[in-house]
Amino acid sequence: MRELTVSPKLPSVGAACHGAIDEAGRPGSPIIALAGAPNVGKSTLFNNLTGLRATTGNWPGTTVDVARGAWRFKPGDKVCDCAACDGDCRAGNVREFTLIDLPGAFSLDPLSPDEQLTRTLLLDAPEAELPDAVVVAVDAGHLARSLYLVCQLRETSHRVVVALTMTDVARKAGVEVDSYALAEALGCPVVVLDPRRRVGMDNLTRTVREAVPRPRPTPREYPRKAADDLAREDERFAWIEAAVDAGTTRSGEERLSTSDRVDRWATHPVAGPLLFLAVMWGVFQVTTAVAAPLQDWLDGLFSGPVSDIVGAGLAALGLGGSWVEGLLVDGLVAGVGMLLTFVPLMALMFVLLALLEDSGYMARAAVVTDRLMRTIGLPGKAFLPLVVGFGCNVPAIAATRILGDARQRILVALLVPFTSCTARLTVYVMLGTIFFGRFAGTAVFLMYLASIVAVIGVGLLLRKTLWRTMGSEPLVLDLPPYQVPTARLTAAVAWNRLEGFLRTASGIIVVTVCAVWLLQAIPAKPGAGFNEVPVQDSAYGVAAQAVAPVFAPAGFGQWQTASALVVGFVAKEAVISSWAQTYAVDEPLEGESAGSFGEAVTASFVASSGGHPLPAVAAFLWFLMAYTPCVATLAAQRREVGWRWTLFGVAIGLAVAWLGAVGIFQLGRLFW
Amino acid sequence: MSGPLTAVLAAFEAGAASLAEVASRTGLSPDVVSASVEHLVRLGRLESRELAMGCPSSGCGGCASATLEGTPGCGATGPDPGRRGLALVALTLRRRG
């Protein structure tokens, strides 16, 4: 295609085209502008009408591409109605038009260079240089959207012809367009065509040839001196709505797409939340049931052969029994190995969540959550960072910036830590598997439910006390249609999340394992050297024993359990690894055998709860869910809301966690 | 006079949660509601922002909402045509001072 050679002096459609090269139209031939919103089939129509006899180039003085070409047809048919005409008037004897493909534009009130050029050529040019007619490509599938440009052009003296495309798409959606009724309502001709199949082209040619010789129409009346922009635009949309109503018929139920029918249930005020809960329960149930055998196998692999091989290798190097063996076998292999046992579980869960996202269902869950937030008086937009928080709290805190009101930002930044991030999931699954067996999935699901309850409860508490007058921001969600998930996208999303989790977790774990090992190697009582001290007498053990009594009323006052929670303050990813590390180096008492990690944890909860391990585990899980998620979240909070509110958030989290845990245990021990 | 745009804004204010709900409350066809919302965004009366359901730790490039160039999809003004996954768009009322 050759470059358009147009004199830069020419500022208008008419001036630009007269005298230009032959492909672009014969000099003196009527000029027709082809306008329309992007993606309505305008370019296909242009190519069909010009038969690729077109040139394309930047419009002078702009960077906007404009194509123009010769729209040729057979002369001879008498097309105009003027009394003196003998088939020899301007339209009757012409053999072609010069067709200008204007840049895509929704409106003549420009928001982009493309729309600015379209406005300049159609509105701002001198009348003598305006096109002889404007063909507006209109998408029948999105009629109202396309008609705004028609509405604005009808307010001018342009001869307008509507080229109605995509009627097959509209029909599939249950919308039939009556072109005669639509033409009557719009006050201009409407030609139904399908540019891809070259249907209706002759009709369009004939209609434009008929339109060109006619006098310019009287502009449509509209309230130019309306009270404000909205009033004026409202009048235009009322006109558009009337045209759509007059020109279309809808076939009742048929207009409901599959997405609409599913959404009747998925976003229903009662059925929607129940469906959401059922779906999430299914996700956790499938995840834990399918991944459990793999997790057990990996656990055995790392605690058995891998540890043995590393131990044997160190012994061969003369490092057996040294601090190096302690760090590598009891620290890194135990800690990182424990993390890796969660890989199948995390992978499966990420795949299932990616499937839900890619299908479009998670968008409906957002509607359900949003409605819940508003029902309890929290700002609707707050659901956005909270949903992000179920992935990771750090970006969720940053996402509070979308809230316009400073008090809303603080409130939501304080609530985000109660959303259960994926790092906490590993602990839920581990304890769920140990204590609840085949009901582990349900236990995990209940923890997510508890997380939602905590968000709502604390949110309401703060709304009723600190921020009673907080305003609300209306929010509407534009839901995408459902689709069959694609394997490529699902796999890519799941892999990216798994990779991200492993990268973050492994970095944190290596650092904390080293720190925990160091603290466990430092003696806090006299009589033992570095790395020779029993763990309960190490700096780590002594500090944990000092903290542990605080948790006694909640049923998990053993120092090993308390130490895991202290490490969890740094990052929840490190809870299990440090826990495993503690038990790996914690020698069994006399008369006891060294059992598995699960057995050790069970024995710990049985001992600390006075024989009520289940309520103690429930209390522990609540505490883990509710207290400070990690130092990275605290840093993000400080950045967004300052130190004062961050410390307030830590206090609220610890209070809710401890009070809730004590309540759960004390109540639970009465029944379990 | 009260036209479709005012009716759609009123439905926003009244707490409609989705465009289907706006259509149901206003009695307007989904097509007119969709066009009205799009126009209100152009007018600056509504804010349109694409959402993601969660951020992968690997950053925006690893997100289904990211564009093909790996730039963020969430928080963008409306869905990017080059995005990889579905677009959930939040529309919020913009208060005029």
pLDDT tier, A138 (very low <50, low <70, confident <90, very high otherwise):
very high
CB contact under 8 A, A477 and B31: no
pLDDT for the residue numbered A52: 65
- Domains of chain A in start order, with CATH, are 13-252 (3.40.50.300), 271-476+488-668 (no CATH)
Provide mean pLDDT across the span A70-96.
60
> What does the pLDDT read at residue A344?
86
Better-predicted residue by pLDDT, A91 or A342: A342
**pLDDT for residue B77:** 53
Beta carbons within 10 angstroms of residue B72's beta carbon: 17
- Give yes or no for B68 touching A (CB within 8 A): no
**What does the pLDDT look like over A194-239, one tens digit per residue?**
888 888 899 999 999 989 888 888 888 876 666 778 888 999 999 9
Residue A130, pLDDT score: 86
The DSSP result for A83-95, as a single string, is TT-SS-STTTS--
Tell me the CA distances in angstroms from A139 to A160, A173, B41, one per residue in order. 16, 13, 20
Q: Give backbone dihedrals phi and psi of A659, rounded to 5 degrees, phi first.
A: -60, -45
Rg (CA), chain A: 36
Residue B8: CB atoms within 10 Å: 31
What's the rounded Cα separation, in Å, for the pair A582 and A601?
11
Closest partner CB to A237 (pick from B21, B36, B87): B36
The answer to whether residue B29 neighbours chain A at the CB level (below 8 Å) is yes
User: Bridge partners of A8?
Assistant: none
| Smallest CA–CA distance from A472 into chain B, residue | B13
Does residue A591 sit in helix, strand or coil? coil
Average per-residue pLDDT in chain A? 81
The one-letter amino acid code at A95 reads: R
A480 to chain B, any CB pair closer than 8 A? The answer is yes
Pairing type for strands A248-250 and A190-192 reads unpaired
* Residues ≥6 apart with Cβ < 8 Å to A367: A267, A272, A477, A479, B17, B18
Q: Is the pLDDT of residue A602 over 80?
A: yes
A87 falls in which pLDDT band (50, 70, 90)? very low
What's the pLDDT score for residue A379? 65
- Top mean pLDDT of A65-79, A274-288, A458-472, A575-589 is at A274-288
- Which of A148-152, A356-360, A578-582 has maximum average pLDDT? A148-152
Q: Which positions in chain A touch B55 (Cβ < 8 Å)?
A: 388, 391-392, 395
What mean pLDDT, rounded, does chain B reach?
70
pLDDT in tens, A369-388: 777 777 666 766 677 678 77
pLDDT for residue A393 is more than 60: yes
- The nearest alpha carbon in chain B to A362 belongs to B53
H/E segment holding residue A314: helix A307-316
Q: How high is the pLDDT of residue A339?
A: 75
All residues of chain A having their beta carbon less than 8 Å from the beta carbon of residue B5 are 230, 233-234, 237
pLDDT value, residue A183: 94
pLDDT over threshold 60, residue A464: yes
B62 part of contact set with chain A, CB < 8 Å: yes
pLDDT of residue A82: 53
Give the number of other Cβ atoms within 10 Å of residue B46's Cβ: 22
Which of A108, A114, A237 to mutate: most B Cβ within 10 Å? A237
Residue B46 β-bridge partners: B93
Give the helix/strand (H/E) hosting A454. Answer: helix A440-465
pLDDT, one tens digit for every residue, chain B (97 residues): 578 999 998 988 887 777 888 888 898 988 899 899 889 888 888 877 666 544 554 555 555 555 555 555 555 555 454 444 455 566 666 655 4
Residue A598's CB is within 10 A of a number of other CB atoms, namely 16
Cβ of residue B63 closer than 8 Å to a chain A Cβ: yes
Residue A473: its chain B contacts at CB < 8 A? 92-93
In the predicted structure, residue A368 carries a pLDDT above the cut 60? yes
**What is the side-by-side order of every strand in the sheet holding B46-51?**
A475-478, B88-93, B46-51
Nearest by CB to B54, from A244, A363, A391: name it: A391
CA distance B21 to chain A (A): 9
Radius of gyration of chain B (CA): 15
- Burial zone of A60 (CB within 10 Å; 0-12 exposed, 13-18 middle, 19+ buried): middle
Closest chain A residue to the Cα of B75, Cα to Cα: A402
Contact A230 B18 (CB under 8 A): no
Which of A107, A476, A501 to probe the B interface (max B CBs under 10 A)? A476
